[in-house]
Chain A
Amino acid sequence: MAKTPEPKRTISLKPCDGDVIEVSPMIAKQMQTIQSFIEDDSFIATTTIIPLPNVTAFQLSKIIDYLNYHSNSKAVADNVKESTKKFDEEFLKELEHDKLKELLHAANYLNVKEVLDFLCQAVADLIQDKSVKFVRKFFGVVNDYSVEEEEDIRRTHAWAFEGVEED
């Protein structure tokens, strides 16, 4: 096939720390934010480096890991599903809460839907059945309800406060 000098088949991404990371066009395509850089096919051939000032090397490599694994395992067979589940669990296990939130930001900045949805689900799973206090602390948000307002809103949703884990 290759008659002319082969065009560069990867895209160079430069995180805010560390070295340039090369990714395949297939992976890069899933990052909506950098689409404007690569929409033009001829551009791929150039050696321009796309800077990502809001993403660390660690975050970028995690996101690429996730996309790589999942693009290779689209099959629906049970054993594939099983190993995908295992990969996802391992993926999350390595992330502390703060790292998870930062990664969520990175995924949001790059606008990678698949990773974003996965991480949002992971956060939802983490705060499920947790007390309101826990959730505030987890997200670092400050209660802006007055005592009366909070009593009122809790009364509106009273049915839901059975069986909630206390901190």
Chain B
Amino acid sequence: MEDPPSSSSSTKARASNDSNTSIGGLNLLNDDLVQNILARLPAPSFASAACVTKSWNFICNRILFRPKLSTALSLNPLLHDAVNEVVNKVLSEPIRPHFAIVNVGSGFELSETLQLIRGRLGFNIPVIVSVANGIIGSDAVTNEFKEVKWGVLFSGFSGDGYTRNINEGIVLTVGYLPGLKVEAIPLVRPSKTSQARCIDDFVMDINEYSASVSIRPFPVAVILIGEASSDMKPVMEKLDYAMPKDTVIVGDERGCFIYRSANDSRNACGRRGNIESVALVFAEDRDRISGKIKFHVALSNGVSAVGSKYKTASVRTSSTDSSTWLTARREGQQEHLDGQTILHDIHELLENLVESPDLYIGVVKHRKFSIGVEKPMPRTCIAYHGVVGGDEEYLYVDGIGIRTGDIFQFYRSDPNSASASLTKVHDSLRNIKLEGNSKTIGDNNVDVFGGLIFACYGRGESFFGHENVDSSPFLENFPGVPLAGIFCGGEMVRPCTTFFGECQEGSSISCCLHVYSTVYLVMSYTPL
């Protein structure tokens, strides 16, 4: 077992080393020299060094007593070579893989990727492989930081026949988090079962796992990957309701994934196994006393409100293509408006814009939530629905869950407001650093050791006119700290206690699924 370093075990280790000296004959290397040597080994050799003697194992634990994230990106078009490049890079320094997140272009076959990764990282850690619209990270060979966005928007909406570009590339994130336990937990929905019940089971599965390893029946963080065709709004809303405010939840709504949990004997694929989503769950390990690993989140908003508020007057949902047809009244007025009229007003307001933005409606939903047999509790959240179009009857938006009487407002994608919010994210990330430095002295500083980014596919270079804009708040604050990410079709984050940056519409309203935004997950460590 891995012991945290302490002075008493240090003396013991040295004593046993001395006794070896006489037997070995050669003047033995002291612990500091051995540490200097072992710290230079790539991860697999480092692992076998721990098996050499007990004192070496102790030295290895001392080298790796802090958590670590290691990431690498490759655009090599050959899957085997790309996997080798990123794995070799990630394992080039001491690390013990606890979990792996793999994001690939649609040109890479998921199960083959999973197989290759597991062959190198071991068979008993949770691994999630997911298709993204673009990848963000540091090149395994050149170390150049890249934000890569691929051609056609990958969309699972139209079922099996959807078109996708062949995109080759991979970004691998491997984490070593002593003090936490990590597991992949699926949201399973057998056909003809109501989603609501399955979500309840999912939430309970996550809490049960946490309770089994931790003193708290809740995880500290959840990274959620949704299967492309499933609606993650109810899942996020339920999780937001069920989890305590200090649980961090982030993710990608439209993933297309395959995963392998640590305790399972078979691969599970989102598209084939009635699995709507998979959660990578991080729970405190009750058996470990070490420093504190903290997850912080920040959000860069990318939309701004347009026009006045409306109240839905009639709502029809089409469950076949998961969309909603609605009519509305301007708030405080009686006139019943059709889609065309509403859109006409909005387009008039947007006339001066050079490029026509993407339009959404942000719907404020007052709903009641419960898990299982609990008494339902009222809650308010805001949900964004993409505007599909409007005619003389209806306004068409994607997604379901809107009710008659809900208040909504139009939002448009807006690079200016995105840039402004990036500056705020930049400042709030800097505060993580400052906050840690002011509270503690010397070695006890808060140490940011890694980050993950979930950026909306609509952003990136084409949105801002420069490259690596979305990564810049992290890269500028934490140069050299591993960072990986994806461009995705639905970035998710729930408001929580470690949330930095603005929260829309005040704090009483919860919003978990964002549009045109970038979500930052920042991991920090504070020694005891």
Contact across chains for B48 and A140 when beta carbons are under 8 A apart: no
The one of B16, B32, B36 in contact with A144, judged by C-beta atoms closer than 8 angstroms, is B16
Evaluate contact between A130 and B51: CB separation under 8 angstroms. Answer: no
A contact set with B: CB distance below 8 Å: 98, 101-102, 104-105, 108, 116-117, 120-121, 123-124, 127-132, 135-136, 139-145, 149-150, 153-154, 156-164
Q: Are A128 and B42 in contact (CB under 8 A)?
A: yes
Q: Is B353 interfacial (CB-CB < 8 Å)? A: no
Q: Are A160 and B47 in contact (CB under 8 A)?
A: yes
Is A132 a contact partner of B52 (Cβ separation < 8 A)? Answer: yes
> Which of B117-125, B176-184, B277-285, B314-322 is the contact stretch?
B117-125
> A126 vs B32: C-alpha distance in the bound complex, in angstroms?
18
Q: Which of A105, A116, A159 contacts B47 (CB 8 A)?
A: A159
- Tell which of B36, B42, B48, B123 touches A116, judged by Cβ atoms closer than 8 Å: B36
Q: Mark B40-51, 1 if CB is under 8 A from A, else 0.
A: 111111111111
* Chain B residues within an 8 Å CB radius of A121: 40
A104→B34 CA distance, assembly (Å): 11
CB within 8 A of A143: which of B33, B53, B120? B53
Since A161-B47, A162-B44, A162-B120 are in contact, a sample of 16 more A-B pairs with Cβ atoms closer than 8 Å, ordered by chain A residue number, is A104-B29, A120-B33, A120-B37, A127-B37, A135-B48, A135-B49, A141-B53, A142-B23, A143-B53, A145-B51, A145-B53, A153-B51, A157-B51, A157-B96, A159-B97, A160-B47
A77 to B25, CA, bound (A): 44
Complex CA–CA separation, A46 to B25 (angstroms): 40
Q: Pick 29 A–B contacts, CB within 8 A, sort by A.
A: A101-B26, A101-B27, A105-B29, A108-B29, A120-B36, A124-B40, A127-B45, A129-B44, A132-B51, A132-B52, A135-B49, A135-B52, A139-B52, A140-B24, A140-B25, A141-B56, A142-B24, A142-B53, A143-B53, A144-B53, A145-B51, A149-B54, A153-B51, A153-B57, A157-B51, A159-B125, A160-B48, A162-B44, A164-B44
Q: Does B20 contact A (CB under 8 A)?
A: yes
With a 10 A CB-CB cut-off, give which of A101, A104, A140 has the most chain B CB atoms: A140
Residues of A within 8 A of B51 (CB): 132, 145, 150, 153-154, 157
Q: Is the CB of B53 within 8 A of A140?
A: no
B212 at interface, CB cutoff 8 A: no
Which of A102, A117, A123, A130 has most chain B Cβ within 10 Å? Answer: A123
Given known A124-B41, A153-B57, contact A143–B47 (CB-CB < 8 A): no
B185 within 8 A of A: no
In-complex Cβ contact of B33 among A102, A108, A127 (8 A) = A108
In the complex, what residues of B have CB within 8 A of residue A101's CB?
A: 26-27, 29
Q: Nearest Cβ in chain A — how far from B489, in angstroms?
A: 33
Of A102, A120, A132, A157, most buried by chain B (CB within 10 Å of CB) is A157
Q: Which residues of B are found within 8 Å of A162, using beta-carbon distances? A: 44, 119-120
Closest-CB distance, B122 to chain A (whole angstroms): 3
Query: Given A141-B53, A142-B23, does the pair A124, B47 have CB atoms closer than 8 Å?
Result: no
Interchain CA distance A124-B29 in the complex, whole Å: 13
| CB contact under 8 A between A117 and B36, given known A124-B41, A136-B52 | yes
- Identity of the chain A residue whose Cβ is nearest the Cβ of B96 in the assembled complex: A157
- Least CB distance from A82 to B in Å reads 19
For residue A139, which residues in chain B have a CB less than 8 angstroms away from its CB?
A: 24, 26, 28-29, 34, 52
Contact partners of B96 in chain A: CB under 8 A: 157
A133 — nearest CB in chain B belongs to which residue? Answer: B52
List, in ascending order, chain A residues with CB within 8 A of B23's CB.
142
Q: B26: which A residues are within 8 A, CB to CB?
A: 98, 101, 139-140
Could you say which of B28, B36, B47 contacts A140, with CB atoms under 8 Å apart? B28
In this assembly, does B38 line the interface, its C-beta being within 8 Å of a C-beta of chain A? yes
Please tell me if the beta carbons of A159 and B121 are within 8 angstroms of each other in the complex: yes
Q: In the complex, which residues of chain B have a beta carbon less than 8 angstroms from the beta carbon of A145? A: 51, 53-54
Q: In the complex the two chains form, is A157's CB within 8 Å of B20's CB?
A: no
Query: Does A161 contact B48, Cβ atoms closer than 8 Å?
Result: yes
Cα distance, A108 to B123, chains bound together (Å):
40
Known: A120-B33, A140-B26. A132 touches B123 (CB 8 A): no
| Secondary structure type dominating chain A contacts | helix
A129 to B122, alpha carbons, bound, how many Å?
A: 16
CA gap between A150 and B54 in the complex, in Å: 9
CB distance from A32 to the nearest CB of B (A): 13
Q: Specify which of A124, A142, A159 is in contact with B20 (CB 8 Å cutoff).
A: A142
Cα separation A17 to B333 with both chains bound (whole Å) = 102
Cβ of A54 to closest chain B Cβ, rounded Å? 10
Bound CA–CA A129/B46 (angstroms): 9
On whether the beta carbons of A128 and B45 are closer than 8 Å, the reply is yes
The CA of A159 and the CA of B56, in the complex, are separated in Å by 19
Residue B163 at the chain A interface, CB threshold 8 Å: no
Instruction: Check B115 for interface membership: any CB of A closer than 8 A.
Output: no
How far, in angstroms, from A164 to B49 measured CA to CA in the complex? 12
Cβ–Cβ contact A124 & B37, under 8 A: yes
Return B91 CB to nearest CB of chain A, in Å: 9
Task: Check if B30 is an interface residue, CB within 8 A of chain A.
Answer: yes
Known: A123-B37, A145-B53, A153-B57. A132 touches B48 (CB 8 A): yes
Contacts of A129 in B (CB 8 A): 44-45
Distance in Å: Cβ of B58 to nearest Cβ of chain A:
11
CA distance A154 to B51 in the complex (A): 6
State A128–B50 Cα separation when bound (angstroms): 13
- Tell me, in angstroms, the Cα distance from A130 to B37 when the chains sit together: 14
User: Given A108-B30, A116-B36, A153 and B49 touching (CB < 8 A)?
Assistant: no
The answer on a CB contact under 8 Å between B33 and A104 is: yes
CB of B283, distance to nearest CB on chain A (Å): 20
Contacts of B48 in A (CB 8 A): 131-132, 135, 157, 160-161, 164
Residues on B with C-beta less than 8 A from A104 are 29, 33
**Contact status A157-B29, CB under 8 Å:** no
Residue of B nearest to A157 (CB): B47
- Is B52 a contact partner of A128 (Cβ separation < 8 A)? no
Q: With A and B bound together, what is the CA distance between A141 and B123 in angstroms?
A: 31
Give the nearest-CB partner of A149 in chain B: B54
Nearest CB of A to B99, in Å: 13
| Distance, CA A131 to CA B16, complexed state (A) | 22
Q: How far is the CA of A7 from the CA of B36 in the complex (A)?
A: 39
